[in-house]
Structure 1
């Protein structure tokens, strides 16, 4: 006897297949329950909502256009006041009797200008055509010399609040005046130090914006002082940007208050959405994970069906899917147990026959035992074939591709085949088509539907007496097509109308050889009918006296539109 060895190379046997790698990846993903908390939908939802509000609030803090508008308005107001100052100086601070031309009197100009600026916070300076400054509203002449006036900010006894300090910090970061020329305070200023004054002495009204050393702005307007269209000097008005910045900071403070309110509302709404969306989804995911990795079947899917939204639909779908999966598992377990039981019977008989045949010397008994062995082998072959068909049917029905099938044409063909192949003792098969002549169409797989009606006709033929009559009817009932197969046999035993559709259940007529049928025909027919969205049942035909006249098997299938 030759010894057969495995000739595969170890390297080839160790190489993983593509489907093994994919399965390993799926198992690796399913084995990570901690990922439910990382980058969760709640955090993403909160981050996206807060980021949108933050970008909106941060963008509104840049009030450059608003600040520019305030500067333009202030410069326009300074120009108007400068015109008033120039008119007043030309009328009240000039003398015409000192020569041929009118001239500005410094003492009169300084006093008049100080009175004009008293109600305001404007600084005014007066320059002669030769560029010499003769008056400054911030300088007072006394016996001991000139006195410089400097305005102080109003006292803040309570001190700035937290919001004010935050607004000041933000304003300090956003306030950039690098594009403005610096302002320089000269001890003895002349017209040449300021371009706007030089232009005003030439008869133009000129504006200028400068930045001081504290980061603020100095707004300046120079207006010529005219007398009979003659330029007698120039008055320069200056004002700081404290009021402007205060207005901008006030707007920023209001925006920040509104931003805080919107932020609180956004966070609350995000948490609410997280509670109504993210947490239920996480609970459903956790339940699915426990079903995948749990040992038992006591995992309850959270019920959100009262929500009447997509999550409620997901909860109902997962519950139905889990129940169907458990039913499928139970059916597989029962089927495996039934298969083991049904195969064990012919194997036991076969083993007994083989053991007995080795000890029997009588040729007749050996021939009889060999016949038993042959019948058991045939029975095993038929049983395994039917079991294989039933196993393939489950997977095939799960991916059923439906096409229009004519029930009338199918049943007519089956009747013609039976009439062609029947013997004299076989029952007569009749087909009663609907009187209306309508086409009876259903959606399904024709080969499997043929298998259903062949099983029913074969079952009726096995119980019918010799030369009996089998009637097949088909008719339209509402949205369905009803097909019935009637025979003249003994009928179905009482209490067994539902049990005859169980797997491996066998109720055969008297005198039939044992093991001819596997008991899967009606079970397969029921499975096919239900996979097509229909139903199958059995009932007994009775006469007026209540006597059983035969059996009737009915199949209801949805009609094709």
Structure 2
């Protein structure tokens, strides 16, 4: 790998190692915290809660106003013929009913003049004592911060635009539209804004006796207590939010650690594998985890092992190819050197024949090696389909019969009786499976004595299809039953010229069958006396 590429990978690993919080951790934290913040923000809004309390305040003042107005009409007027409210009895009634409830009551006569103001009756409330906190103290800072927070939330609330509430020193009914409406005999309510950002609720109730209006009772009370209640609820919600946020952050960090940290370790291990450190790299294992992270760890480890196995296979293949190619090259070199020193025409023709045979052998080796090296890539790109193995075997048997030379072994096929009704279907690639059958048939033909047949037998097992290729040759040495599937292994019958086979046929067949999740093996056939009467190559493939 280039030096610049290595430096880039090292820098990336350093950045990942020194990063306090991974991107995945930050995303988990952001999603959980934002969702919680939106929920809490909606609760902190509390606008509907405040409106409901104000509506309740209006209803309460209306009921109280009607009760007090009735009491004034009965007790503060002189007989049914009265045309005005007596002031002194009215003061006594208001002092008993209004002052304790901290409601302000004002009584206006028919001319609109102010007769009684309950604020003048509550002498004890004229003196207000407030505790002054030292400037710069923590309490002062917290109060200022809380006020700023509440003001910000209130600013976001969809409050309706209210007219300001003002009072003149000489109050008359003309200052209050609701009082003017009540003089006409209609109970009227109104909401105004005060200087301290609260609202002032006013209810004007006509004081009437025998359907005659004697005056108007104006009850008023601000919503400062409602605002304080709403703010206390906000503070309570913030406390709960603080606890919930702490729990959310801890759980998010735990989740991120159980997810992001293992992924980071796996990524770092993959980065170390890439520069070519090979088996020195240890892939982290999370065997105890039964989740997707554990699956990823196991898959990455298996993938890395498969990569190393493939590298080993490539190295072994290169070594075998080098060895196989050296033999004919060495033979050609020796023949050419000898040819340059001899003048005997017969020997020259013999040496030229050797060179031609070795060149043909080299050509055959290169062709089959190239086909073997492309095999896995071709199979990985192709799409497997349902292949009728019985029909494939029958077609090959007919093809061999049509092209057989005189004296060549006969190809017999033994299919189950139900093969026409129930095809022997397997999932596979038609071309590679046909190549396997041709390799096995060609191998059997090369060992079969003249006059003896080669038999193809197919049968259905529980969950597989078994195909066997049988010959009547000398069989396979017991210690070579597995070795014959190795690359470049060649065990040829007596009398066959050297170099006619590359030794790749059975090896390629094994790779094709294993790529189809099947198995292939060799065994010897025996007669009743236990003597070897031939070889049998068996292929088993799962049913489609």
TM-score (norm 2): 0.89
Which residue matches 1:87?
Answer: 70
* Residues 1:170 and 2:123 aligned together: no
Distance 1:448 1:455 in 2: 10
Paired residue total: 529
Could you list the per-position Cα deviations for residues 350-408 of structure 1 after superposition, in whole angstroms to 9, with x for gaps in the alignment? Answer: 12222222222222221111111101110100000110110111211222322332322
Which residue matches 2:170?
Answer: 188
- Secondary structure at 1:68 match in 2: helix
Greater per-residue helix proportion? 2
- Secondary structure at 2:478 match in 1: coil
- Secondary structure at 1:187 match in 2: coil
Which has the larger displacement, 101-110 or 528-537?
A: 101-110
In structure 2, do the counterparts of structure 1 residues 264 and 83 end up closer, same or farther at CA, with 3 Å as the change threshold? same
Equivalent of 1:553, from 534, 537, 543?
Answer: 537
Could you list the per-position Cα deviations for residues 486-538 of structure 1 after superposition, in whole angstroms to 9, with x for gaps in the alignment? Answer: 22222212311111111111111222211111111111111111112211111
In structure 2, do the counterparts of structure 1 residues 149 and 132 end up closer, same or farther at CA, with 3 Å as the change threshold? farther
Equivalent of 2:495, from 511, 524, 529?
Answer: 511
Which has the larger displacement, 258-267 or 54-63?
A: 258-267
Which residue matches 2:126?
Answer: 150
Which has the larger displacement, 510-519 or 113-122?
A: 113-122
CA contact (8 A) 1:126 1:135 kept: yes
Question: How big is the shift at 1:226?
Answer: 1.5
* Residues 1:452 and 2:428 aligned together: no
- Uncovered stretches (5+) of structure 1, i.e. residues with no partner: 1-23, 142-146
* Residues 1:213 and 2:186 aligned together: no
Which residue matches 1:200?
Answer: 182
Equivalent of 1:74, from 30, 46, 57?
Answer: 57
CA contact (8 A) 1:432 1:473 kept: yes
In structure 2, do the counterparts of structure 1 residues 414 and 173 end up closer, same or farther at CA, with 3 Å as the change threshold? closer
In structure 2, do the counterparts of structure 1 residues 162 and 478 end up closer, same or farther at CA, with 3 Å as the change threshold? farther
In structure 2, do the counterparts of structure 1 residues 471 and 330 end up closer, same or farther at CA, with 3 Å as the change threshold? same
CA contact (8 A) 1:138 1:148 kept: no
- Secondary structure at 2:280 match in 1: coil
Which residue matches 1:346?
Answer: 328
Distance 1:284 1:159 in 2: 50
Distance 2:390 2:82 in 1: 126
CA RMSD after TM alignment: 3.1
- Uncovered stretches (5+) of structure 2, i.e. residues with no partner: none
Which residue matches 2:103?
Answer: 122
Which residue matches 1:132?
Answer: 113
Distance 2:198 2:425 in 1: 89
Which residue matches 1:9?
Answer: none
Which residue matches 1:106?
Answer: 87
TM-score (norm 1): 0.86
Alignment of 1:479-490 (within 5 A): 479-490=463-474
Equivalent of 1:317, from 299, 312, 324?
Answer: 299
In structure 2, do the counterparts of structure 1 residues 183 and 418 end up closer, same or farther at CA, with 3 Å as the change threshold? closer
Question: How big is the shift at 1:447?
Answer: 2.2
In structure 2, do the counterparts of structure 1 residues 400 and 210 end up closer, same or farther at CA, with 3 Å as the change threshold? same
CA contact (8 A) 1:503 1:523 kept: yes
Alignment of 1:117-516 (within 5 A): 117-139=98-120, 149-150=125-126, 152=128, 168-175=147-154, 179-437=161-419, 438-516=422-500
CA contact (8 A) 2:409 2:454 kept: yes
Which has the larger displacement, 275-284 or 394-403?
A: 275-284
In structure 2, do the counterparts of structure 1 residues 74 and 463 end up closer, same or farther at CA, with 3 Å as the change threshold? same
Question: How big is the shift at 1:421?
Answer: 3.9
Question: How big is the shift at 1:311?
Answer: 2.9
CA contact (8 A) 1:96 1:103 kept: no
In structure 2, do the counterparts of structure 1 residues 514 and 120 end up closer, same or farther at CA, with 3 Å as the change threshold? same
CA contact (8 A) 1:139 1:148 kept: no
* Residues 1:535 and 2:535 aligned together: no
Question: How big is the shift at 1:103?
Answer: 2.6
Which residue matches 1:8?
Answer: none
